Structure 1
């Protein structure tokens, strides 16, 4: 049995505003390369997964790049069940559980699809499935996203963001959010999505190089 989210709307709004304030003081720059947000759609937000900060950055992205164009009704995050059991308060912030390798995985994926039937809901997912270096050039996606998108009955926009950090001349790191509109659930193809994301991610990494260009 999965642990479902019991999100408190006012808490999400307050958290979004607080996180924006906090992260702007913790990091040197937070630069978003935005995409158009489709009206009356939910959103499956996918990011590369390499840091403790990933969930905080995704919340910042939702608040500052999605909410300002379409009101955010709910922000949900798939979290390992063992973490949910150790931190039961996470469900009030929109987290729900997944337990890889168990029979409840399909229940978690179906729950994510159900959430994405409601316009204005955002579900955060890390398709890599594991923490990997910020410097990887190839994003290898697990097939869980295939099961989620295929079961969405409403209109859902698929968005990827390659989140990269740099220090350059500052003592504090800067975060660069390279967003990509990957279409909707109605024109979704798993292989095509993987090709889109990898082409975009390689271009984003190359864009971060200030002086050196690779052949």
Structure 2
């Protein structure tokens, strides 16, 4: 059964506030790297999936740059356990079940509204920050097939460095995917090129 996204009048703004507060408390700084111009189109955000922080980081990105209504896909059993995320824009997906098609179509339905953004982890599971290459599951291509309007596809690579500080710094690398080839392989290859360039960029940075 698909659990559709909701935005509770109290829980949603509290989650926005908490995400900013938590990040500002834990991280030395947050830096957005790459060009992205505001768009009237809806946005499909495709970030790497490295751990607990990921959703907070994308919320930060949305509040600081994207300014869209926040939605994200979450495993059904996890959403049932952490039910409050349902009231912050989370909707469910059950891998290996027939309802996954319903979820993919629902994701496309959200993206047909230009005021919305959805972030989906293309890897489909948490992976090490050091894992390369990054592999995409097939669901992204199917979402785009169901989407009826032109949307913006935004690659995101969240990378952490400490340098000389006791607190980590977060670098959110951005790249808009504009290729007309929306196959899983084409997007996967493009993402890995972008990700490798982001990692190289980090190695060239002066310590801060």
TM-score, reference length from structure 1: 0.88
> Does residue 1:116 correspond to 2:116, yes or no?
no
Unaligned 5+ runs, structure 1: none
- Answer yes or no: is the 8 Å Cα contact 1:119–1:155 preserved in 2: no
1:146 and 2:141 aligned: yes
Aligned to 1:134, the other structure's residue is in SS state: coil
Structure 2 Cα separation of the partners of residues 86 and 195 of structure 1: 34
The answer for the alignment partner of 1:208 in structure 2 is 202
Residues 1-215 of structure 1 mapped to structure 2, 5 A cutoff: 1-8=1-8, 11-37=11-37, 39-67=39-67, 72=68, 74-183=69-178, 188-210=182-204
Runs of 4+ aligned structure 1 residues displaced above 6 Å come to none
On the 8 A contact 2:38/2:65 being kept in 1, the answer is no
CA distance in 1 between counterparts of 2:167 and 2:23 reads 11
Q: CA deviation at 1:197?
A: 0.7
Secondary structure of the corresponding residue to residue 82 of structure 1: helix
Cα distance in structure 2, aligned partners of 1:66 and 1:196: 22
Preserved CA contact (<8 Å) 2:36 2:175: no
3-state SS, counterpart of residue 160 of structure 1 = strand
Q: Which moved more, 1:78-87 or 1:188-197?
A: 188-197
> RMSD across aligned C-alpha pairs, in angstroms?
1.9
Distance (Å, rounded) in 2 between the aligned partners of 1:8 and 1:58: 19
Moved more, 38-47 or 19-28: 19-28
Residues 23-57 of structure 1: per-residue CA shift (max 9 Å, x gap): 12210111101433353200000100011101101
Partner of 1:3, secondary structure, is: coil
Q: Say if 1:40 and 1:155, in contact at 8 Å, map to a contact too.
A: no
